[in-house]
Chains A and B, each alone.
Chain A
Amino acid sequence: MTDFLQVLVVGIGNGAVYAMLGLGLVVIYRSTGLLNFAQGEMSMFSTFLVWTLWSVLGVPIVLAVLGGMVGGFLIGALLHKVAVAPLGDPHLRPLSVVIVTIGLFLALNSAAQLIWGTVDKPFDPWLNAGQVTIGGVAIAWQKISAVVVLAVMVLLFWLLFQKTKLGLAMRAVASNSESAGLCGVPVARMLMVGWGLAAAVGTVAGVFTAPGAALGSNLMQLTLIFGFAAITLGGFDSLAGAVVGGFVVGVLSSVVPQYVSGFEKMPLAPAFILILAILLFRPEGLFGKKQVQRV
């Protein structure tokens, strides 16, 4: 029983990180209707910014993370401005935008290797943070803080989207960008903010991923697959779905390889099976809206 709880705790901690990345994916999906394949590399890049601030310049970790988020926001917004916005309405040219996000994936990965080299950096701000033991189950502070930080991020997103004028405009653009433009909302700027926010959230996901993986340019590639699985389960356009999906995927990916024979050496398999099953039987996900198109 204790063993199972231990595996569960690890899964929940990982799930919080998948949920964070999922939030970034959902924010961009809601505004453009497309998956951003560069989400993971955006996270990786800004995690290197955090590493540089913390490890090279000696900035305290909390400030370094905040700095990385600001840097990530600016990079995300800039990428949208120079690479995505020039394509025009993403609903008219979905494939072009998808290809551009794949291009950004490669570009950011190569840029990180150019700047920070190809040797992985040790990056463990939680090295001496330790753990608490409850009923024989060890819970690392890193996992606990991931869950807490996720909760804070969800709250902030909720406040932003439901309670502020900026959030109202972003929801309007997501639902009907043409009408939002006619109402005086600067559509391109709202999309830019969305990309910035996605990158900023991704920074935190990256910082929580790095200690288990060491920091290299491929840091987020597995996490991105889990993030895709999370939002496929939760629904591409649902923030709540990203969170629930993140935890489910985290727990499944931790429990299944441990207890189901045949999966020991395939930790990614449960996530892929989940993506396939959801797309086959409930393509809108658990919390997503069914797409209805009027002719």
Chain B
Amino acid sequence: MTLLEVDGLRAGYGLVEVLFGIHLEVDVGELVVVLGANGSGKTTTLRAISGMIPASGEVRLDGRNVLGRRPDQLLAAGIAHVPQGRGTIASLSVEDNLRVGAWARKDQEVQADLGMWLDAFPRLGKRRDQLAGSMSGGEQQMLAIARAFMSRPRLLLLDEPSLGLAPLVTREVFNRLRDVTAGSDTAVLLVEQNANLALEFAARAYVLEAGLIVVSGAAGDLQGDEAIQKAYLGL
């Protein structure tokens, strides 16, 4: 079942256009990756979908166009965004960061979810009262992901989680991400430069080049296609 459809999405910064009408889809519970070189428009894609920058075209969630809404409104609709550079709130503790993640929720299960996510990310459980800004990059990335899950999203937009992390730490983050999304309805739209690693974890992939989708397909097919790897992924 389709959760997100992006149709003819155009966006940019001021007079500089970055996206020239891209199309992509994410199904319920699916992990999809957008690959591409620096400057191809990966981050801009996520920022346009989550309402952080003005954009035109259509972004449909469950078939309804949600383009033009503010980030906090989109979060209420089920789209959580972990921005590039993680976006943890440095001067708040781990626990407070997670509570902010659940800010828009009105139900009574926030406390239970808090315990659940601290268990799911044991490194965070040990640092519950520590200020987010004093933690390592890998821990902050996990905090950012756990915080996004505290909103009970239906779609998680995840911007380059490997940025600035050692390869082993990156792999741990991806393993955790797979563990917590396996069997859940939460879909993940991931943007990543580390193509090999991302293709290993994703179900499908899109390749973005200069603001246009140039290749799309099952992750396994892209992994096996030497021509695509050479032309677009620099592998």
Where the two chains meet, the residues of A that have a C-beta atom closer than 8 Å to any C-beta of B are 165, 168-169, 171-172, 174-176, 178-187, 289
Contacts and interface: CB of A to CB of B under 8 A. Distances in A.
Contacts of B103: 165, 168-169, 172, 183-185
A180 B103 CA distance: 9
Chain B interface residue bracket vs A: 20 to 34
A179 B88 contact: yes
A165 B102 CA distance: 10
Contacts of B104: 183-185
B83 interface: yes
B80 to A, nearest CB: 7
Given A175-B91, A185-B72, A180 B100 contact: yes
The 8 closest A-B CB pairs, nearest first, are A184-B104, A184-B75, A179-B87, A175-B91, A172-B100, A181-B71, A176-B89, A184-B72
A182 B90 contact: no
Contacts of A169: 100, 103
Contacts of A171: 91-92, 96
Contact of A187 (B72, B80, B99, B101): B72
B147 to A, nearest CB: 7
B90 A176 contact: yes
Contacts, number: 72
B45 interface: no
Contact of A182 (B76, B87, B96, B99): B87
B158 to A, nearest CB: 12
Contacts of B81: 182
B75 A182 contact: yes
Given A182-B71, A184-B104, A168 B99 contact: yes
Contacts of A168: 92, 96, 99-100, 103
28 contacts: A165-B103, A168-B96, A171-B96, A174-B91, A175-B90, A175-B91, A175-B92, A178-B52, A178-B87, A179-B83, A179-B87, A179-B88, A179-B89, A181-B70, A181-B71, A182-B75, A182-B80, A182-B81, A182-B82, A183-B75, A183-B147, A183-B151, A184-B71, A184-B75, A184-B103, A185-B72, A185-B100, A185-B103
A187 B75 CA distance: 13
Contacts of A165: 99, 103
Given A172-B103, A179-B89, A185-B72, 10 more contacts: A165-B99, A171-B91, A178-B83, A179-B83, A182-B81, A182-B83, A183-B101, A184-B71, A184-B104, A185-B103
Contacts of B75: 182-184
B193 interface: no
A135 to B, nearest CB: 45
Nearest to A179: B87
B50 interface: yes
Interface in B96-131: 96, 99-101, 103-104
A182 B87 CA distance: 9
